[in-house]
Amino acid sequence: MKTLIKKVCFAVMLVMLSLTACTSASAESIDDVLKDCKLDRSNWKVVEWFKAEQFVRFYDSTSVTVTGPGRFDAVIYDYYYGNDPCISDCKLQGKKHYHSEKWGFNTTKSAGTLRSLATKDLDENIVSSYDIPSNMQIESELNKNSFEAITMLKIKDSLKGDKKFAAEPKATADSKDTIPQPKIKGLVPMPMAIGASNGEWTYMGRYISGGSSSSILEWETRLHPYTGSVESDGLYDVYFHHEHYEQPGNYEGRGCCVFDFGGHRFTSNYGCVLKIVPLNHNGVPFNQSGQKYGTILLSTRGGSKGAFSVGIQRLRIFDNVTHQLLVNIEDRKQLNGNFQDYMFHEIRENSPYMNAIKMSNCPIQPYDGRHG
């Protein structure tokens, strides 16, 4: 009986060893992972295989451009090969695909600037893309354990022989690297004059939230200019982008039909994109990651059917540190809820959207009865 038990135990051990050997032999390798990846490996260099996140990061060696001592730009691709989620709003979730980003790196300060991002299918067809406006490209310090910091150091190793990259940066008082820091004592002045332009954005001034809201539309409606001079919570710097155009089409920020009707200005169609930057109680933009602190873009449009009303078409939130897209909502019901802004005229009159209409100075056309 003892002999039989020993034989059975020995057989079980052999089976377990066999299974272990088979598992080891079939373990996933990077060559297995990249079998469907179509990138030309002579140009695209592997940075690292992030197994837990199920993607392989590459950089395009032909895109690396030294822009100064310790500085370079580069294009990065993340090849997602698994079924795990990559980012919440990715349209290729669960399929093999690429996320592309263009970065500017400053190795002296261990900092980076995100310039653009895109999602592409296996054949590199663009599914979605976004070029970050220059005034929103903010250099931020990189966490030493972040994907971006790992990428920066990998590319840096390939530039050891570049004289321009290795040169000592000039230390001057007016260096572009020198960013004046506001004194955090009392309320910081507004960053620019109201009505001034910063690239494609026109500054509308400082606003303050108007209490709890049931939807994004109601929240925007209740924002109103802040005229105080003391610190306060719920502050925002607000900008808008608008293009004059009689018919709105499908372009965010475009569209205005303004008519002279019996001596009154009659606005039947107006579209703009609002940029809303959260501030701390001193009036300084947050230097923290997360949806709560991110820069908000609201694509907004209004029309007139007896009473002029406004609706939000799209909400985007960008991280203040990484500048990555955190939120992208286009569901009108989710954004606007059941809130009817025209029922709250006294609240909305000084909202960012209504003030954008006033500041845009849309051309007035003769009324011919076609609108309204």
Q: What is the pLDDT of residue 178?
A: 37
pTM here is: 0.51
Spatial separation of the C-alpha atoms in residues 341 and 333, rounded to whole Å: 14
pLDDT at residue 308 is higher than 70: no
Spatial separation of the C-alpha atoms in residues 349 and 347, rounded to whole Å: 6
Q: Mean pLDDT, the chain, as a whole number?
A: 79
Q: Do both 228 and 361 map to the same domain? A: yes
pLDDT at residue 275 is higher than 60: yes
Q: Do both 212 and 69 map to the same domain? A: no
* 47 is a domain residue: yes
Q: Is residue 332 helix, strand or coil?
A: helix
What average pLDDT score do residues 31-39 get?
A: 91
* 28 is a domain residue: no
Q: Do both 132 and 228 map to the same domain? A: no
Spatial separation of the C-alpha atoms in residues 212 and 330, rounded to whole Å: 22
* 70 is a domain residue: yes
Q: Is residue 353 helix, strand or coil?
A: helix
What average pLDDT score do residues 31-60 get?
A: 92
Q: Do both 136 and 238 map to the same domain? A: no
> With contact defined as beta carbons under 8 Å apart, do 99 and 122 qualify?
no
Cβ count near 113 (within 10 Å):
17
* 202 is a domain residue: yes
Q: Assign residue 75 the CATH number of its domain.
A: 2.40.128.710
Q: If phi over 0 gives left and psi between -120 and 50 gives alpha, with beta otherwise, what is residue 369?
A: left
- Greater pLDDT, 96 or 365: 96
Which residue matches tokens 């939130």? 317
Find, among 291, 297, 289, the residue nearest to 322 by Cα: 289
Q: Do both 273 and 352 map to the same domain? A: yes
Q: What is the pLDDT of residue 306?
A: 56
Domain tally, the chain? 2
* 177 is a domain residue: no
Q: Do both 141 and 278 map to the same domain? A: no
Final residue in a domain of this structure, among 143, 166, 189: 166
Q: What is the pLDDT of residue 24?
A: 36
What average pLDDT score do residues 226-244 get?
A: 92
Q: Which amino acid is at 354?
A: M
Question: What percent of the chain has a predicted confidence (pLDDT) above 70?
Answer: 74
Backbone angles phi, psi at 39, to 5 degrees: -70, 140
Q: What is the pLDDT of residue 284?
A: 92
Q: Do both 109 and 205 map to the same domain? A: no
Q: Do both 119 and 263 map to the same domain? A: no
- Greater pLDDT, 210 or 39: 39
* 193 is a domain residue: no
For the record, the structure tokens of 277 come out as 């930057």
> With contact defined as beta carbons under 8 Å apart, do 273 and 296 qualify?
no
Q: Do both 228 and 82 map to the same domain? A: no
* 214 is a domain residue: yes
Q: Do both 102 and 209 map to the same domain? A: no
| pLDDT per residue as tens digits for the range 158-168 | 998 899 998 87
**In which domain, by residue range, is 238 found?**
198-366
Final residue in a domain of this structure, among 116, 150, 166: 166
Final residue in a domain of this structure, among 166, 184, 215: 166
Q: What is the pLDDT of residue 328?
A: 87
Q: Is residue 89 helix, strand or coil?
A: coil
Spatial separation of the C-alpha atoms in residues 164 and 107, rounded to whole Å: 13
Q: Do both 258 and 113 map to the same domain? A: no
* 184 is a domain residue: no
Weakest-pLDDT range from 21-25, 65-69, 145-149 = 21-25
Hey, which residues does 35 pair with through a beta bridge? Answer: none
Q: What is the pLDDT of residue 15?
A: 45
Q: Which of 8-12, 170-174, 245-249, 277-281 has maximum average pLDDT?
A: 277-281
Q: Do both 152 and 246 map to the same domain? A: no
Q: Which of 173-187, 196-210, 264-278 has maximum average pLDDT?
A: 196-210
What average pLDDT score do residues 96-103 get?
A: 92
